[in-house]
Structure 1
């Protein structure tokens, strides 16, 4: 079906009282896995392309075109989102390419600079009809700048949302990027406190390190968009490694990448269903 928009997916998730799975694309096989998993779960998802992914591919346009083609060939409602862009020019390019949402990550900047840059991207995004996400209280694990103990202040988050006009707000409540063990301890009381004063949907980054039960409770507490990457990468890579171990003479990359894609699709389906278990599907 045609690409849907992140705005539509977020609105539907809010209506249903569920979490929206926002899943990172690394290459075309992972985009295909996300589409297949979402189809099997019978719900929509966000295909996210990060600045790191753009750097790996040497540019945004080719991987964006591939992800869009996969989404348009899918029966699941899927949107395209630019994740963790620190370069505003990349956000501009994504909007030009038809992304329905972008994240500008200026959380490492001083407050005034973060607000100013975010407001600039929000204005540009809204002019293009897109949703803009930003971050306050840097999520742990990015460039080693913050430990997982960093927390977002609810009042500061509310002031930031008002000052910038942002549509989605990523907050720090105990998760950390790139965790390979699912041992993060979320502060659910803080999630509730932030959700009570911030008028826009909240985003949980670093969700791969959060156990299943806490993901469900975080959604119930007020988190709406749930970003997951490392957990899917783990499953994909484990399947590739197993396939190569089983057949050391294997040289056809389609056969081991296919194994990774199949395994990841299964995990996508499981996670999409899990995030929907707090609302209409419960």
Structure 2
């Protein structure tokens, strides 16, 4: 089926008090695994390409984007394509022609005033191109090798009053909130601030997004969706599944040299994890 705009998937989920899983992809195997896992689960899904993934691919967006578009067009479930954690305005402007229906513009490292101004400009441009745009307020730590922020550090949590004003001032379509998760967690030990999420949901006029979901235990994910999270970003969990499966395969077969064998095992492990996470999220809406 054709690509489905990410905004359409998220808006529909938010109206049903449900959430769409959005998986960050780095290789063709990631893309195939996400689509296969979503098809097995019979659920819509979002393929996400981050600015860091583009840097890993020699700074070229199109090879991975075209692979994702092709996979989405042949999928048996609705698939959206999202450009994630964009800081570069040059990369932002490549999104429409590369097939992306949405972007996450990341100016959260800036002061509140600068974040608002930069995001307002990005949102104006994105909307003129027909793109749905997500932004971040508060700092969801752990990205680019940085440690997660202490729970009481300035900026470590999204302030509800500022969130309401930020959405109104920027015109964004969704907001990623800092409520206790962190990027790149390999253990599922994050503790979400559910009381804060409830307050954020009460004042927000747009769907809320949870980044760093790989480190969040299942029951807390289910609760977060019930409290207003409509898009759940996952990346590290796929890498953990893939790497673990490949390590086990090669440890048992030290003579193996055909990359198709171990990449296939890694792809299958990621597909299972995709299906597992989608299954967890479906519990929030009784699915």
**Compared CA separation, residues 7 and 35, structure 1 to 2 (3 A):** same
How far does the alpha carbon of each residue in 1:66-108 deviate from its partner, in whole angstroms, 9 at most, with x for none? 1111111111111110110111211111123221000110011
Deviation (angstroms), 1:139:
0.5
Match of 2:208 in 1: 202
- Aligned partner of residue 108 in structure 1, secondary structure: coil
Counterparts of 1:94-109 in structure 2 under 5 Å? Answer: 94-109=95-110
| 1:29 matched to 2:35 | no
Match of 2:275 among 265, 269, 275: 269
Q: Any conservation in 1 of the 2:137–2:158 contact (CA below 8 Å)?
A: yes
Q: Superposed, which structure 2 residues align to 1:1-282 within 5 Å?
A: 1-58=1-58, 59-143=60-144, 144=146, 147-149=149-151, 150-281=156-287
Residue 17 of structure 1 contacts residue 279 of structure 1 at CA under 8 Å; is this kept in 2?
A: yes
Contact 2:69 2:99 in 1 (8 A): no
| CA distance in 1 between partners of 2:140 and 2:7 (Å) | 23
C-alpha displacement of 1:146: 5.4
| TM-aligned CA distance change 1:25 to 1:148, over 3 Å | farther
Asked if the contact 1:139/1:148 (under 8 Å) is kept, the reply is no
TM score, norm. by length of structure 2:
0.95
CA deviation vs aligned residue, 1:226-274 (integer Å, no higher than 9, x gap): 0001011101111111111121111110110000001110110111121
CA distance in 2, matches of 1:146, 1:242: 29
The answer (yes or no) to whether the contact 2:6–2:102 under 8 Å persists in 1 is yes
Moved more, 146-155 or 97-106: 146-155
Q: Work out the CA distance in 2 between the residues paired with 1:142 and 1:156.
A: 23
Q: Is the 8 A contact 1:154 1:193 kept in 2?
A: yes
Matched residue of 1:277: which SS? helix
Matches of 1:275 and 1:229 in 2, distance apart? 15
Q: Distance in 2 between matches of 1:65 and 1:238?
A: 28
Q: TM-score, normalised by structure 1?
A: 0.97
Runs of 4+ in 1 over 4 A off after TM superposition: none
Instruction: State the distance in 1 between where 2:216 and 2:148 align.
Output: 17
